[in-house]
Chain A
Amino acid sequence: MDISQQLALVADFKAGNKEAYGLLYDEYIKPIYKFIYYKTHHKETAEDITSQVFMKAYNAIHSFNETKGTFSAWLYQIARNTIIDHYRAVKPTQNIDDVWNLSSSENVARDVETRLELEKVQNYLRVLPSEQRDIIIMRVWQEMSYSEIATVLGTSEAGCKMQFSRSIKKLRETMPMELLLLLLLPNLINRLL
């Protein structure tokens, strides 16, 4: 959905057509849910936060200002803030943005399979600042283009690319040598064979 379609639907909704909001919902429910899941690692929490995001957007659409960004960027911003609010309520004594900031031993709800899937990358992804991690998530897992990411984060495409490159560089430097060797091993064996 391009920006002009988004704006037309927002205008229709503001004029009293609920179905217009329904169409915006259809377009963004999946990507927003996935984004939230990647930052919570827990289905029920992700569903709860997704519900809050779309309810907030529905009730606060009058405060959406198209001169300050796109509707999708606005939704992602609500999602990021709602995730932060959630974890600050769960762990009021810690300054955390999402589940990545918590070590795997922390007592927060996580899906078991996801915890196992992320076991290898958890420790070095969590050292990245939240915005850089979001760029990695959006680019690598959500397969969003840099222009989409830039729209969502309210930054430039070149800025996103630079942040992404730096994050990858940092990850490579942070990755423990033994883990790197472990991961490289099958590759080396293949080459030798």
Chain B
Amino acid sequence: MNSNIEKILADVYLFEPELKTRETALVVLIEELLHSKPDTKFDETFAHELRKRILAQPIPINNIRRWPFSLKQNPFAVGGFATALVLLLVVVMIKQNNFSMFNRTSSNVGQITHLANNAFGSLSAGQPVATLDKTASVVTPSANTMIGLGGGSPEGATQTLSAPVAYGMGGGVTGKMIRPYPYIRYTYVYKGEPLNLTDSMSDVYMRAPVVVDTGGLLASLNPFAVNGLDVSSFVGSNVTSFEVTQNTTDGYIVNVNIGQGTASINQNWQMWQQPNCINGICEPPTPLKESDIPNDSEVIGIANDFLQAHHINTTNFATPEINNTWRVPMMKGETSLVAYIPDVMTILYPQKVNGAVLYDMNGNKIGMSVSMDIRRRKVTGVWNITDYHYQSSAYAVETDAKKIIAIAERGGIYGSAPYYYGEAGKNQTITLDTPTRVLVTTWQNTNNESKEIIVPALFFPVIDSANNLPDYFTKGVVVPLIQEVLKQDADVPVAVPFDTTAPAVRMLK
């Protein structure tokens, strides 16, 4: 009997104990009820469209708070109220030493400001484009690229070429790294429902510029100035970031970047006790066993408690997820003896913007992450704490479903395109299911400045089981829907691993 049925029965017996004698019939009845649960056919596109339709409406007039009395009805009360308001503001400003000046908003959930169509300019310059450097080892030609091994920089220079190109001992490639071994040729096949892309325009998001006046704070910092330095003498300056250090046992260091609207929390290492140290000599800790890992609800509970204790808002985040990738080798049949059990678990709170979850181009959710020390059951850090202040602007959307599916079947706009390793290479087909609507982050490059943009996209989930894909860890393929972002797809190379069986002369072709 499953635990759900047991729980239901326990509740039933509480009020109808005589039914215990009919348990077999009850179990059958409850099983039948569970078995009959219909598929509700919940449609994400419907939910997305409805959300858009509702939020496009003006705010109902009754929702806007009104003055509690009218000028006509009670002019004296209005005068008194205005005086009280001015007095209250003066008191608050004196009391808070003007610190309230940099409260961004009274709202605790943030805002999205809607701008005119195409307000962010051209979105077509997707990845950072550096000037060609002969020493650089990473290039992005349009076709027939060959990639070898070794050390390039992820921020390597890019070049667009039409002829075949060979790469030497290089290193990493941004995003989808090609493993030196084994070279598997992945082929994506879409087996979902037919796509119906009806929107011709859709919102693109960008973080709203943070305009804060922290000038009032500068003068109050002077008592702590070094050697008489008067920071307020730099007229027109603002405090753009600060760090707070907690010098107590198991303390933290908090970094806040006011200018960017971001913050992070890290361990104050000096104040964290090392569990296996006696007189400064530390023993390596005993490796953890799988049974030492707390269950997911406990881990998420600890993370939630920490965020709540420090008033970190979680309303713009989807349900937290634990990074359990370390379990994958075990699921694929490796024994727990050789499998790696981490000391720290990471919990991701996927960011949502306007209701849609944010992904990166590799198909991973992104958002605020919390790490937890498993031995101590204690949070060790929080990263990517961000303000929720965006601007949105509508851009043209690709409505050609065939084109979108074709990009998905190539593994997205940045590749994991099919690649080869001679005859010995293994072919692997990956099945993609009906996509859901998400948002994906990419970059806009203008005037030597890179800006993160968030564009609507489709997430095609991989439906094959992990056991069938021993070397494939991505959960899905993301395809942006904005036409200008898709333009860069044309310049993305088909990455081909260097064929070590071919004669060296081939490289010189």
Which A residues fall within an 8 A CB radius of B?
1, 5, 8-9, 12-23, 25-26, 29-30, 33-34, 37-38, 41, 43, 46-47, 50-51, 54-55, 58-62, 111, 113-114, 117-118, 120-121, 136, 139-141, 143, 146, 161-162, 164-166, 168-169, 171-172, 175, 180, 183-184, 187
B-chain residues with CB within 8 Å of residue A15 when the two chains form the complex: 65, 106-107
Q: A28 vs B8: C-alpha distance in the bound complex, in angstroms? A: 25
B-chain residues with CB within 8 Å of residue A8 when the two chains form the complex: 108-109, 315
Q: Is the CB of A58 within 8 A of B54?
A: yes
Q: A29 vs B57: C-alpha distance in the bound complex, in angstroms? A: 18
Q: Is the CB of A111 within 8 A of B41?
A: yes
Q: Is the CB of A43 within 8 A of B15?
A: no
A35 CB to nearest B CB, Å = 9
B-chain residues with CB within 8 Å of residue A29 when the two chains form the complex: 47, 50-51
Q: Is the CB of B111 within 8 A of A61?
A: no
B467 CB to nearest A CB, Å = 28
* Contact partner, B42, options A26, A33, A117, Cβ 8 Å: A33
Q: Is the CB of A172 within 8 A of B26?
A: yes
Name A's interface SS: helix
Q: Is the CB of B59 within 8 A of A16?
A: yes
Q: Is the CB of B109 within 8 A of A9?
A: yes
B-chain residues with CB within 8 Å of residue A22 when the two chains form the complex: 51, 55, 354-355
B-chain residues with CB within 8 Å of residue A59 when the two chains form the complex: 57, 60
Q: A183 vs B11: C-alpha distance in the bound complex, in angstroms? A: 23
Closest residue of chain A to B355 (Cβ to Cβ) is A26
Q: Is the CB of A140 within 8 A of B34?
A: yes
Chain B residues bordering chain A, tally (CB within 8 A): 56
* Contact partner, A118, options B4, B12, B38, Cβ 8 Å: B38
B residues 297-343 touching A (CB-CB < 8 Å): 315-316
* Contact partner, A55, options B16, B38, B54, Cβ 8 Å: B54
Q: Is the CB of B40 within 8 A of A14?
A: no
Comparing B17-25, B158-166, B395-403, the segment that makes contact with chain A is: B17-25
A114 CB to nearest B CB, Å = 4
B27 CB to nearest A CB, Å = 8
B-chain residues with CB within 8 Å of residue A184 when the two chains form the complex: 24-25, 28
Pairs of residues from A and B, 5 with the lowest C-beta to C-beta distance, nearest first: A165-B15, A62-B62, A37-B40, A114-B38, A183-B28
On whether A187 and B24 interact (CB within 8 A), knowing A19-B111, A121-B32, A165-B14, the answer reads: yes
Q: Is the CB of B63 within 8 A of A13?
A: yes
Q: Is the CB of A140 within 8 A of B30?
A: yes
Interface string of B203-228 (1 = CB under 8 A from A): 00000000000000000000000000
Closest residue of chain A to B50 (Cβ to Cβ) is A51
Q: A172 vs B109: C-alpha distance in the bound complex, in angstroms? A: 48
* Contact partner, A161, options B11, B36, B39, Cβ 8 Å: B11
Given A12-B108, A38-B40, A184-B28, 6 extra CB contacts under 8 A = A14-B63, A19-B112, A25-B51, A26-B51, A58-B54, A183-B32
A-chain residues with CB within 8 Å of residue B54 when the two chains form the complex: 21, 25, 54-55, 58
* Contact partner, B12, options A25, A34, A61, A168, Cβ 8 Å: A168
Q: Is the CB of B8 within 8 A of A139?
A: yes
A-chain residues with CB within 8 Å of residue B355 when the two chains form the complex: 22-23, 25-26
A-chain residues with CB within 8 Å of residue B51 when the two chains form the complex: 22, 25-26, 29
Pairs A–B under 8 Å by Cβ, sample size 27? A1-B315, A13-B63, A15-B65, A16-B63, A19-B55, A19-B111, A21-B54, A23-B109, A23-B316, A23-B355, A26-B352, A29-B47, A47-B43, A51-B53, A59-B57, A117-B36, A117-B37, A164-B11, A164-B12, A165-B11, A165-B15, A166-B16, A171-B29, A172-B19, A172-B29, A180-B25, A180-B29
Q: A171 vs B28: C-alpha distance in the bound complex, in angstroms? A: 12
B-chain residues with CB within 8 Å of residue A26 when the two chains form the complex: 51, 352, 355
Q: A17 vs B22: C-alpha distance in the bound complex, in angstroms? A: 54
Closest residue of chain A to B51 (Cβ to Cβ) is A25
B-chain residues with CB within 8 Å of residue A175 when the two chains form the complex: 25, 29
On whether A114 and B39 interact (CB within 8 A), knowing A17-B111, A29-B51, A183-B28, the answer reads: yes
B154 lies within 8 A of chain A by Cβ:
no
Q: A143 vs B5: C-alpha distance in the bound complex, in angstroms? A: 11
Q: A183 vs B31: C-alpha distance in the bound complex, in angstroms? A: 9
Q: A17 vs B388: C-alpha distance in the bound complex, in angstroms? A: 13
B234 lies within 8 A of chain A by Cβ:
no
Q: A24 vs B368: C-alpha distance in the bound complex, in angstroms? A: 20
B278 lies within 8 A of chain A by Cβ:
no
B71 lies within 8 A of chain A by Cβ:
no
| Residue in A117, A165, A171 with the greatest tally of chain B CB atoms within 10 Å | A165
Closest residue of chain B to A18 (Cβ to Cβ) is B55
B16 CB to nearest A CB, Å = 5
